[in-house]
Structure 1
Amino acid sequence: MIIFYSSITLIIGFTIVFISHYIFKGSELMKKLKNSEEEYRKLAEKYEAVVSNIREVIFQLDADGVILYVNNSWEKLTGFGLQESIGKNILNFLLDEEVKGINSKVDAKMLNGEFYIITKDMKTKIVEFTMLPLFTTKGEMSGYSGSINDVTERKQQELLIKAGKQYLESLNRTLEKRIKDEVAKNRQKDHILIQQSRLAAMGEMIASIGHQWRQPLNRLSLSIQDVREALEFGEINDQYIDGFTRESMIQIKHMSRTINDFRKFYRPNKQKCSFSVSESIEDALSIFSSSLKNHGIQVEFEYRGQQMAYGFPNEYSQVVLNILTNARDAFVHNDISNRKVTITIDESGDNLIAAFTDNAGGIDPLLLSKVFDPYFTTRPHGTGLGLYMTKMIIENMNGSVTAENKGNGTRFSLAVPKVTAEIVPSLVSV
């Protein structure tokens, strides 16, 4: 009996110890569980704090597109509070035009896209959606989670940039058209100037031909008048007829040669070629010699051989004639008594420089920079085209022309490229 009670006591003791052990373990487990719940709560709070304060809208939808969760950025984006939004379909916040192309359920085609959202104050914002489908353990889609990013400002900037580009393109097209129109107008103006210059040169040519023909015409007139007197005095015989014919033919040939010289002088060169600067100056002097003599102008020109330039010889002679004409008019306008023009030719680098210096009184220093402008003239009946055409012709030969006051007159310098080794091959091919 004693043994029975001892056994019972032992079993009860073991049972108490066992129960006490598990009670102790359970309390530790409960403590750990509470600690885990606390840590989870803190972690959840941290996560919520992070999610609530990021710039993008974080959301969760059910399978029908009903909002289950949105962070605080949703209210900043739309103006709708969380209580006003949770439980409503996401489509309610989209522009009507956007909803028309979307099914009642938020299906897979909305996983990525750009949409217009209507805010609480009825403003439109452009947003980018990025969503991922959520699935149950059975593989059924239960909803969506994703983010919304406000791109309104960026899109507006893109639109402004696009509008700016379109404006610049339109402006460029307009400017291009205006430039073309101005170029066309300038070309037309240049054609008119060239035509007027040709008319002025033609007038000079006719006047020069008149001067060149005056003497032979006078001789022919005297010879013809002498025929009547010779007939009255019986002096007409074969010898008289031969003399009359010979002298008349000399004068006629001189007049014909003058015409040919002027025709050659005013025939434009189509291609550049090598030419003698001295010979081109001589050609101009021979044509203008009678006008120079009639106005008492002495010309000193030291002929210095065959300095060969590259350009248009006839046009160069016309330039020389323009400068001589300008000097003649200056002598007459300023009423200069001892009239003199000195012509020299020098070399400078790759250029030949012909200088024409007169003593016609010079040019007003304030006007010196304008002498090559079109229609600029200091003469009462001047056209203002001679020196302008001079500049155009010389520059067309890759040369330059300058004017400066020298002593009691003006010096015009014509610089044109001389024939060099680089130009010779092209001359041979021509």
Structure 2
Amino acid sequence: MSNKITQILLNEIVNLSKKSDKKLAEKIQTVLDFYITEQKENQKTIKQNEYFLKQWDKRNIIAHERDAKKDKLLEQQSRLASMGEMIDAIAHQWKQPLNSMSMMSDMMQEDFENGLVNSAYVKEFNDTVHMQIDHMVSTLHEFRTFFRPSTKNEEFTIQDAMNSVGILMKDELISQNILLDIDIDSEIKIFGNQNEFKHLFINLINNSIDSFNDKNINHRNINIRCYEENTNIYIEVEDNAGGIPNEVIKDIFKPNVTTKPEGKGTGIGLYMSEQIVKKNHGTINVYNTAAGAFFTITLRQATI
């Protein structure tokens, strides 16, 4: 009932009461005056609340925009850090085939002078050179694909994403004397941004590599498993690098939290890993085993 109609009814009650009883009319008038005062106070309170809600909404919008800018900046920093690491890995991977081709060229000159060069020799030389070049081209392709900006979501297998990471990091893992054991169901597919998942795997592997080096561990193993159970996809990444310090592990996915010495780590990698998982409607957790860190990623198939 509107205030206008209510006021009309109250006035009618007052007028009727005046005809019947003066004291009753006075009491009703008192009640009416009190009601009118309360109504005015209520209207004042409502306006104040509306004002505060508007201000609150403005602050929330500003805070949301500020957080979005911060996340974008952190993402850019993470990609730049990964790019630096990948450039080092590419340089390392290219160094070996270039050295091999250079050495083969020198040997060919010497063998030619000794009369050892024939058609079979040239064919073997040609095949070997092309194999080395193919390896370099494949590495460059994966590098360009990984860093090409893309918001495209597509269906892909976890195994394909991991195979690409393996090409990018193969020589780095060999040089670091790390045994990478992969057990991924080849049929598991998800819908999302494949480059982001490559980024996720690289972040976790690099995290293990840094931990191995910081603690001077000789026998180095990283195990990556992926399997389906009920309606979930589980990705597990386990190493024997000694684990994450207890005082840090609860905050390890927060930005700028790192176990690395000053100047050697930004703390962005694991934060961005969590953002990638959340974007794909999943969760990521970590705990320490007797040997090292154990990361578990859970993806809900129905919502990806």
TM-score range, shorter chain: 0.7 to 0.9
Match of 1:154 among 24, 31, 35: 35
Q: How far is the alpha carbon of 1:362 from its aligned partner?
A: 0.9
Q: TM (normalized to structure 2)?
A: 0.82
Q: Is the 8 A contact 1:273 1:312 kept in 2?
A: yes
- Name the residue aligned to 2:197: 316
Letter in 2 for 1:187: A
Question: Does 2:297 correspond to 1:417?
Answer: no
Label 1:247 to 1:172 Cα distance change in 2 as closer, same or farther (>3 A).
same
Q: How far is the alpha carbon of 1:227 from its aligned partner?
A: 6.2
Q: TM (normalized to structure 1)?
A: 0.59
Q: How far is the alpha carbon of 1:203 from its aligned partner?
A: 1.0
Question: Does 2:142 correspond to 1:261?
Answer: yes
Q: Larger % of strand: which? A: 1
Q: Which secondary structure state, in structure 1, belongs to the residue aligned with residue 247 of structure 2?
A: coil
Cα distance in 1 for partners of 2:53, 2:252 equals 36
The 5 Å alignment of 1:280-429 reads: 280-380=161-261, 381-418=264-301
Cα distance in 2 for partners of 1:386, 1:277 equals 20
- How many residues in Structure 1 have an aligned counterpart in Structure 2? 282
Q: How far is the alpha carbon of 1:330 from its aligned partner?
A: 0.7
Label 1:149 to 1:395 Cα distance change in 2 as closer, same or farther (>3 A).
closer
Q: Which runs of 5+ in 2 are unaligned?
A: 1-20
Q: How far is the alpha carbon of 1:224 from its aligned partner?
A: 4.1
Match of 1:56 among 26, 35, 43: 26
- 1:351-383 deviations in Å (ceiling 9; x for gaps): 111111111111123322211111111111111
- Name the residue aligned to 2:47: 166
- Which stretch shifts more, 261-270 or 322-331? 261-270
Q: Is the 8 A contact 2:242 2:292 kept in 1?
A: yes
Q: How far is the alpha carbon of 1:207 from its aligned partner?
A: 1.4
Label 1:195 to 1:208 Cα distance change in 2 as closer, same or farther (>3 A).
same
CA-based RMSD of the aligned residues comes to 2.9
Cα distance in 2 for partners of 1:183, 1:304 equals 39
Label 1:409 to 1:176 Cα distance change in 2 as closer, same or farther (>3 A).
same
- 1:164-222 deviations in Å (ceiling 9; x for gaps): 11111111111111111011101111110111011011112101111211111111222
What's the % identity of the aligned pairs?
28
Q: How far is the alpha carbon of 1:394 from its aligned partner?
A: 1.2
Cα distance in 2 for partners of 1:151, 1:267 equals 73
Label 1:242 to 1:347 Cα distance change in 2 as closer, same or farther (>3 A).
closer
Label 1:250 to 1:337 Cα distance change in 2 as closer, same or farther (>3 A).
closer
Label 1:312 to 1:416 Cα distance change in 2 as closer, same or farther (>3 A).
farther
Cα distance in 1 for partners of 2:206, 2:56 equals 42
The structure whose Rg is larger is 1
Question: Does 2:56 correspond to 1:175?
Answer: yes
Label 1:330 to 1:222 Cα distance change in 2 as closer, same or farther (>3 A).
same
Letter in 1 for 2:282: G
- By relative contact order (CA 8 Å, sep 6+), the higher-ranking structure is 2
Cα distance in 2 for partners of 1:304, 1:340 equals 20
Q: Is the 8 A contact 2:162 2:198 kept in 1?
A: yes
Q: Which secondary structure state, in structure 1, belongs to the residue aligned with residue 80 of structure 2?
A: helix
The 5 Å alignment of 1:216-231 reads: 216-226=97-107, 229=110
Cα distance in 2 for partners of 1:272, 1:400 equals 19
Label 1:243 to 1:300 Cα distance change in 2 as closer, same or farther (>3 A).
closer
Label 1:288 to 1:343 Cα distance change in 2 as closer, same or farther (>3 A).
same
- 1:147-179 deviations in Å (ceiling 9; x for gaps): 976855433322322221111111111111111
Q: Which runs of 5+ in 1 are unaligned?
A: 1-49, 58-146, 424-430
- Name the residue aligned to 1:42: none
